């Protein structure tokens, strides 16, 4: 039970800042002379209704524009390597920059359900609320057994719900751009004063305990029942920052690709990260269970796989159709790290 709900939407932003565009930054990330024909989801390329494949040549909107946003040598201990390849001028919490943060007001002692969404394109956020511990109750919309933590690391498209009981005062909620320079800020306030935390404030909790998704235990109501897989699917996550050739099994996305399943099957999907970078991998249309050591793990639809590690998830094929499996690093997916799960008749 809770008294109030506080939704926190986190974002990384460059579109329109000093002439930058996401497509322009993608062009900066690609090695010179590389064609962009594998891109299928960009604006101006929605000519699929004509039956023609997307143009193999970069359209004018894909010319690099604005200053270089390419980030070299970022490092994150939590992400076991480079955190990202794009340096953002702005990190936002509920659409606001840190010098003009949004404020959530409540009374001391009230219990708040905080729903945190990483809507960014290329940034993991490490999130903490000064002076408070977080009680994690849900991830990606599915309940877990309550677990307290100081901070959470949230990949692109991941969602976490946490409970906090408000203390009395003014408390910065900081979303650190993990391994990058900058942060997003929002403020929890119970008093009537006018003080605003400085934009660069860094609560101690950010350097405290960070519970990863694999340590969460699903609530009894959503535990995936114990069942042997009918089908095992192994996919390698491939590509390098230098070539910017992100893909699965060394192939860039093609809309004819199919990873077949049949309705009714229990599927075990193993994603082997053969790259030097982490990826937030997302499956549409299903909610998988992380596989734990001796029991099914938390239910999720997006999960972080660290460099040279694997992510093993189980799901029930119970939603016939064609479903995207892709990296939720938008620049990775646009450069080819997408494929399709397809139900067989
Ligand atoms: Cu990726």
Ligand 1 centroid to 167 CA: how many Å? Answer: 38
Tell me the pLDDT of the chain (345 aa) as tens digits: 999 999 999 999 999 999 999 999 999 999 986 655 444 444 444 444 333 344 444 444 567 789 999 999 999 999 999 999 999 999 999 999 999 999 999 999 999 999 999 999 999 999 999 999 999 999 999 999 999 999 999 999 999 999 999 999 999 999 999 999 999 999 999 988 778 899 999 999 999 999 999 999 999 999 999 999 999 999 999 999 999 999 999 999 999 999 999 999 999 999 999 999 999 999 999 999 999 767 789 999 999 999 999 999 999 999 999 999 999 999 999 999 999 999 998
State which residues form the domain around 281.
221-344
Which of 169, 189, 211 terminates a domain? The answer is 211
181 and 301 housed in the same domain: no
- Rounded CA-CA distance 212/336 in Å is 27
Helix (H, G, I), strand (E, B) or coil at 146: strand
Ligand 1 centroid to 193 CA: how many Å? Answer: 44
Read off φ and ψ for residue 325, nearest 5 degrees. -120, 120
88 and 124 housed in the same domain: yes
Ligand 1 centroid to 85 CA: how many Å? Answer: 11
Ligand 1 centroid to 156 CA: how many Å? Answer: 10
Ligand 1 centroid to 59 CA: how many Å? Answer: 24
Mean model confidence pLDDT for the chain: 92
Ligand 1 centroid to 242 CA: how many Å? Answer: 14
- Rounded CA-CA distance 63/312 in Å is 38
Nearest to 186 by CA among 124, 128, 109: 128
Ligand 1 centroid to 328 CA: how many Å? Answer: 6
267 and 333 housed in the same domain: yes
Q: Give residue-wise pLDDT tens across range 159-207.
A: 999 999 999 999 999 999 999 999 999 999 998 877 889 999 999 999 9
Instruction: Give 203's contacts (C-beta < 8 A, 6+ positions apart).
Output: 128, 129, 130, 131, 172, 174
267 and 142 housed in the same domain: no
Read off φ and ψ for residue 331, nearest 5 degrees. -75, -30
Q: Give residue-wise pLDDT tens across range 255-267.
A: 999 999 999 999 9
What pLDDT sits at residue 41?
Answer: 45
Q: Is residue 121 part of a domain?
A: yes
Ligand 1 centroid to 248 CA: how many Å? Answer: 10
159 and 259 housed in the same domain: no
What pLDDT sits at residue 34?
Answer: 64
146 and 274 housed in the same domain: no
Q: What angle do CA 118, 133, 218 make, to 5 degrees?
A: 65
Q: Is residue 127 part of a domain?
A: yes
Read off φ and ψ for residue 133, nearest 5 degrees. -95, 155
Q: Is residue 86 part of a domain?
A: yes
Q: How far is CA 300 from CA 178, 231, 304, in A?
A: 21, 20, 11
149 and 9 housed in the same domain: yes
159 and 197 housed in the same domain: yes
- Residue 30 half-sphere exposure, CB side, CA atoms within 13 Å? 22
Q: Is residue 63 part of a domain?
A: no
CATH number of domain containing 272: 2.60.40.420
Ligand 1 centroid to 277 CA: how many Å? Answer: 7
Ligand 1 centroid to 275 CA: how many Å? Answer: 9
Ligand 1 centroid to 192 CA: how many Å? Answer: 44
What pLDDT sits at residue 37?
Answer: 47
Ligand 1 centroid to 329 CA: how many Å? Answer: 5
pTM for this predicted structure: 0.92
- Element containing residue 187 per DSSP (H, E): strand 183-189
- Burial (0-12, 13-18, 19+ Cβ within 10 Å), 128: buried
Taking the C-alpha atoms of 130, 131, 135 and 138 in order, what is their torsion angle to the nearest 10 degrees?
A: -20
Which of 186, 211, 236 terminates a domain? The answer is 211
Q: How many domains does the chain divide into?
A: 2
Ligand 1 centroid to 113 CA: how many Å? Answer: 30
Ligand 1 centroid to 332 CA: how many Å? Answer: 5
Ligand 1 centroid to 309 CA: how many Å? Answer: 13
Residue 100 DSSP symbol:
S
- Rounded CA-CA distance 155/48 in Å is 30
């Amino acid at each position: 039970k809770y008294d109030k709900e506080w939704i926190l939407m986190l974002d990384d932003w460059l579109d329109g800042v000093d002439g930058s565009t996401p497509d322009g930054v993608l062009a900066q990330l690609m090695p010179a002379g590389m064609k962009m024909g594998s891109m299928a989801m960009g604006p101006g390329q929605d000519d699929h209704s004509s039956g023609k494949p997307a143009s193999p040549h970069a359209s004018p909107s894909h010319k690099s524009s604005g200053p270089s946003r390419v980030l070299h040598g970022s490092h994150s201990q939590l992400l076991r390597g480079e955190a990202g390849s794009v340096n953002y001028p702005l990190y936002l919490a509920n659409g606001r920059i840190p010098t003009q943060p949004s404020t959530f007001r409540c009374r001391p002692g009230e219990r708040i359900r905080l729903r945190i969404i990483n809507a960014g394109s290329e940034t993991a956020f490490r999130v903490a609320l000064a002076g408070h511990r977080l009680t994690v109750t849900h991830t990606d919309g599915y309940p877990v057994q309550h677990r307290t933590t100081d901070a959470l690391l949230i990949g692109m498209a991941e969602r976490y719900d946490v409970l906090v009981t408000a203390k009395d005062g003014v408390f910065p909620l900081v979303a650190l751009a993990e391994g990058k320079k900058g942060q997003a800020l929002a403020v929890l306030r119970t008093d009537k004063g006018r003080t605003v935390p400085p934009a660069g404030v860094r609560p101690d909790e950010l350097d405290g305990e960070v519970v990863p998704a694999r340590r969460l235990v699903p609530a009894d109501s959503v535990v995936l029942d114990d069942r042997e897989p009918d089908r095992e699917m192994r996919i390698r996550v491939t590509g390098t920052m230098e070539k910017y050739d992100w893909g699965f099994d060394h192939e860039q996305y093609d809309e004819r690709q199919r990873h077949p399943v049949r309705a009714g099957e229990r599927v075990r999907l193993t994603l082997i990260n053969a790259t030097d970078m982490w990826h937030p991998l997302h499956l549409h249309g299903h909610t998988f269970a992380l596989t734990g050591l001796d029991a099914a793990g938390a239910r999720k639809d997006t999960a972080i796989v660290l460099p040279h590690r694997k992510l093993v998830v189980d799901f029930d094929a119970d939603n016939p159709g064609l479903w995207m499996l892709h990296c939720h690093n938008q620049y990775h997916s646009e450069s080819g790290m997408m494929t399709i799960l397809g139900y067989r008749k």
